[in-house]
Structure 1
Amino acid sequence: MDNSFLSYYLLTSALLFSIGLAVVVTKRNVIVVLMGIELMLNAVNLNLVAFSKNDPDLQGQMFALFVIVVAVCEAVVALAIVLKAHEHFQSINLDEISNNSEK
């Protein structure tokens, strides 16, 4: 893989990470925030695989597989917490949950 293709992968990954970070910072819905976190993790995976393709000794594909497993576990635990929070607070809006927990 030439460095020109590597730069395209890195630019795409930076764009995906930036979009995910903007979603996490600006949105108030828990599900949308979780999607932003998943988008950031996928950007990291794209970086790992691109660098692994460029340097075979790096083993980035194994790291990417590990990140995918961690992302799946994070999604399962986070969705379980969201279901319990919705059951208790009757909302998945982060501002409403934060305001209700202070009372």
Structure 2
Amino acid sequence: MIHSYLYLSIILFCLGIVGVISRRNVFTVFMSIELMLNAANLTFVAFARVHESMDGHVLAMMVMAVAAAEAALALAVVILLHKHKSKLDTNVFSLLKG
């Protein structure tokens, strides 16, 4: 039973890594990071179900809270990037240093 959840989690995490590495659009990179975080949440919840503990659920909720804060910060960076450069390419981030 847990094997199917773990396989799904591994597939989702690998898809997230591929999205982060291969894409240049900032939105796609952030969505891939969110996909990787959700894969980790699925693993935490699956192991919590097997061990009949709530620790995995609590950890998954904490990861969701961090992901929400990361999404808010990412949206602010994307708006700043689009406002200054009118592009959403990841190569433009080096231009925001000043």
TM-score, normalised to structure 2, is 0.92
- Higher radius of gyration, 1 or 2: 1
CA distance in 2, matches of 1:14, 1:71: 19
- CA displacement 1:14-57 (0-9 Å, x = unmatched): 00000000000000000000000000000000000000000124
2:59 to 58, 63, 80: 63
Give 1:79-98 correspondences, 5 Å limit: 79-95=75-91, 97-98=92-93
Unaligned 5+ runs, structure 2: none
Q: Does 2:40 match 1:44? A: yes
Runs of 4+ in 1 over 3 A off after TM superposition: none
Structure 2 partner of 1:22: 18
Calculate percent identity across the aligned residue pairs: 39
CA distance in 2 between partners of 1:77 and 1:23 (Å) = 20
**For structure 1, which runs of at least 5 residues remain unmatched after alignment?**
none
SS at match of 1:92: coil
Taking the aligned partners of 2:76 and 2:41, their CA distance within structure 1 comes to 25
